[in-house]
Amino acid sequence: MLATTPPPSGAGTARTELRLLEQARAAGAREDFVLAIQLLDEHARRFRTGRLAEEREALRVRALVGLRRGDDARRAATDFEARFPLSPLALAISQMADAVP
């Protein structure tokens, strides 16, 4: 019989989720938007509906804006607004995406 690794505890999962977003945020602050997107993609794969999904998708729009990928940023902003219609970030996300040529 194969030994299996027990699933991470709730606290361990939350720390991992937070760590990925902190790394993505730091990459964005350094204007390494490619790395930020990679980290956000990993977060989305591992924590599709995680507690920090709203922040992840807001960071995604910011990274796409930083890469000057206007169409992708506007699409991500539209998806953000549909998924998080009551978010206090919705207006800022929309304005940020619209500012990219």
pLDDT digits (tens, 9 = 90+) for 5-30: 444 556 668 899 999 999 999 999 99
pLDDT tens for residues 72-93?
999 999 999 999 999 999 999 9
CA separation for the pair 6, 1 (Å, rounded): 15
| Residue-range definition of the domain harbouring residue 94 | 55-101
Helix 33-46 and helix 53-66, axial crossing angle in degrees, nearest 10: 150
Q: Is residue 50 part of a domain?
A: no
* Structural domain includes residue 68: yes
Query: What is the number of structural domains in the chain?
Result: 1
Whether residue 35 lies inside any domain: the answer is no
In a domain, 36, yes or no: no
- pLDDT for 26 equals 98
Is 93 inside any structural domain? Answer: yes
* pLDDT(4) > 50: no
Q: Is residue 78 part of a domain?
A: yes
Establish if 70 belongs to a structural domain: yes
Instruction: Write down the pLDDT at residue 11.
Output: 64
pLDDT of residue 70: 95
> Quick one: tokens of 78?
């539209």
Residue 59 lies in a domain: yes
Distance in angstroms (rounded) separating the CA atoms of residues 52 and 66: 21
